[in-house]
DNA sequence: TTCGTTGGGGAGTGGCACTATCCAAGCATG
DNA sequence: CATGCTTGGATAGTGCCACTCCCCAACGAA
């Protein structure tokens, strides 16, 4: 199919597809003449994935390219490629060396990982982007004076472990290795908005349960 | 204290503080003369919260203003103000009317909420931003052909419900009402990176458990 | 009085994700 | 073969956003 048809089938403008081609998010089509190229269903699928990563997953274009490149890198083994999405995702900037909250947060996170027995968040001696983000978030909570010790984080970690089991189950449903890699990327990123949305809906529900009468009035009025 | 000291204590440049003042994210200081104003600890605290929302929570400046305004709106009752953060957060654009994936996703989400018995995600007949985001994410997953029926979403919803309980417990630890509102905003937004980071770390851990030998080699090589 | 400092406001900057325009090479039709 | 629309590639421009720079008039300590 031609670029125009690829555009129509994916719902992405031709201008944007050309931009993605330039940025290397999409394989070039099979050149059929000097000024025409042929695209196939793989392109449609890839394009939909890229769109979903960028629009829903809020992944920057440059990062999406890294993720996809890592997922396609035949030199990495299966486990590493499954983790490629995680590693390529943007990391927080390194906090200032002398920030006591960041240092304390780092120790808290270390203790937490120790406690739950996770030891696979390192590669070549450096901690993962996820680890760094976690430290930054804990540091911010500390600065604001909110509780975020190991005891508070532990329930989150346990729930995350449960999520990982169901997520990996979904990945393993895919029959081919390439399918598993793509699924790992897609499910990692696209279930994030699902999870956050559900958490917010659950907040609304739980808040209503605690603070409202059955008839919908605020039962804490004047408190 | 003066603007310069506020800047030093919060680690935010004076230019940025002035920008936040202009944008209404921060109360103006107490004017002490035509060209000088006095700030206090409340400003430091608010500034740290704003920073955390914007930098870690990736909340757009305009949205942060809405959230803070809602949290301070005395005309709303307690429960509504606790939910203000959720409602002010940016929503996905409405999908095209005729998108079958979006329609199917909407039905799936409706069935899910029915199933878990959540009925508080509506206000004035419109669904919440979280609901819309959820529908958009499920639609994207469907388009890519990944499983996201009620059965797949249900474990996520149950875990979200557990999170909501621990989150609201933390909110209720705050002694004052204003403190509870601020905590609801801060914890809703700032625990999001915590949750996502932990999920990714858990993915790495679970993937290692499934696909690697004890000595660190990929046990699926050639599979 | 003098001169560095302060706060306010408008204009400018850089990054990002597109998007509009141009151009030459097809291909389709008469 | 001529004509005119389409295609793909390249370049430059747009709009948005989160700052950031700069200037000015008013302070206020020396």
Digit-coded pLDDT (tens) for B160-178: 999 999 999 999 999 988 8
Q: Across the interface, do B196 and A192 touch by the CB < 8 Å criterion?
A: yes
Which of B163, B170, B211 shows the shortest C-beta gap to A199? B163
Task: Write down the pLDDT at residue A110.
Answer: 95
- Name which residue leads in pLDDT, B216 or B3: B3
Q: Report the distance from CA of residue B60 to the C1' of nucleotide C4 in Å, as an integer.
A: 37
Q: Report the distance from CA of residue B178 to the C1' of nucleotide D5 in Å, as an integer.
A: 66
Which 3 state secondary structure label does DSSP give B216?
coil
Digit-coded pLDDT (tens) for A102-159: 999 999 999 999 999 998 777 767 788 899 999 999 999 999 988 889 999 999 999 9
Spatial CB neighbours of A88, under 8 Å, sequence gap ≥ 6: A63, A66, A67, A70
- Whether residue B193 is predicted with pLDDT greater than 50 in this model: the reply is yes
Local confidence pLDDT in tens for the 223 residues of chain A: 889 999 999 989 999 999 999 999 999 988 888 788 899 999 999 999 999 999 999 999 999 999 888 888 877 777 777 777 777 777 777 777 778 889 999 999 999 999 999 987 777 677 888 999 999 999 999 999 888 899 999 999 999 999 999 999 999 999 988 888 889 999 999 999 999 999 999 998 998 888 776 655 555 544 3
Q: Across the interface, do A141 and B186 touch by the CB < 8 Å criterion?
A: yes
- Name which residue leads in pLDDT, A134 or B211: A134
Task: Write down the pLDDT at residue A222.
Answer: 44
Digit-coded pLDDT (tens) for B6-41: 999 998 999 999 999 999 999 998 888 878 889 999
- Whether residue B98 is predicted with pLDDT greater than 90 in this model: the reply is no
Digit-coded pLDDT (tens) for B42-66: 999 999 999 999 999 999 999 999 9
Task: Please provide the DSSP assignment of B131-179 as one string.
Answer: HHHHHHHHHHHHHTT---SHHHHHHHHHHHHHHHHHHHHHHHH-SSHHH
Task: Write down the pLDDT at residue B26.
Answer: 93
Per the CB < 8 A criterion, the answer to whether A142 and A136 are in contact is no
Q: Is the pTM of this model over 0.85?
A: yes
Q: Which nucleotide is nearest to A55 (CA to C1')?
A: C17
Which of B121, B211, B220 shows the shortest C-beta gap to A201? B121
Task: Write down the pLDDT at residue B213.
Answer: 65
Q: Which residues of A touch B138 (CB under 8 A)?
A: 194
d(CA A67, CA A48): 15
Q: Across the interface, do A202 and B118 touch by the CB < 8 Å criterion?
A: yes
Q: Report the distance from CA of residue B7 to the C1' of nucleotide C3 in Å, as an integer.
A: 24
Q: Which nucleotide is nearest to B61 (CA to C1')?
A: D18
Task: Write down the pLDDT at residue A44.
Answer: 93
Strand-pair category, B36-38 with B30-33: antiparallel
Q: Across the interface, do A218 and B78 touch by the CB < 8 Å criterion?
A: yes
With cut-offs at 50, 70 and 90, classify the pLDDT of residue B223.
Answer: very low
Mean pLDDT of B62-78: 85
Per the CB < 8 A criterion, the answer to whether A170 and B146 are in contact is yes
- Strand D: which nucleotides have any atom within 7 A of a protein Cβ? 6-11, 17-22, 25-28
């Amino acid at each position: 199919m031609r670029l125009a048809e690829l555009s129509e089938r994916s719902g992405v403008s031709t201008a944007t597809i050309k931009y993605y081609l330039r940025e290397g998010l999409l394989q070039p089509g099979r050149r059929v003449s000097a000024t025409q190229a042929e695209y196939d269903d793989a392109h449609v699928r890839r394009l939909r994935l890229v769109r979903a990563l960028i629009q829903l997953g809020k992944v920057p274009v440059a990062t999406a390219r890294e993720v996809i490149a890592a997922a396609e890198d035949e030199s990495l083994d299966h486990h590493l490629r499954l983790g490629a999405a995680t590693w390529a995702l943007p990391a927080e900037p390194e906090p200032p060396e002398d920030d006591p909250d960041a240092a304390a947060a780092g120790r808290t996170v270390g203790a937490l990982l120790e406690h739950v027995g996770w030891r696979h968040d390192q590669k070549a001696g450096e901690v993962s982007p996820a680890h760094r983000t976690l430290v930054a978030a804990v540091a911010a909570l500390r600065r604001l004076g909110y509780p975020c010790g190991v005891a508070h984080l532990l329930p989150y970690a346990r729930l995350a472990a449960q999520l990982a089991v169901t997520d990996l189950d979904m990945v393993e449903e895919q029959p081919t290795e390439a399918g598993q890699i793509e699924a790992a990327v897609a499910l990692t990123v696209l279930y994030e908005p699902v999870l956050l949305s559900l958490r917010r809906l659950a907040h609304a529900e739980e808040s209503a349960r605690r603070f409202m009468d059955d008839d919908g009035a605020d039962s804490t009025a004047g408190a």
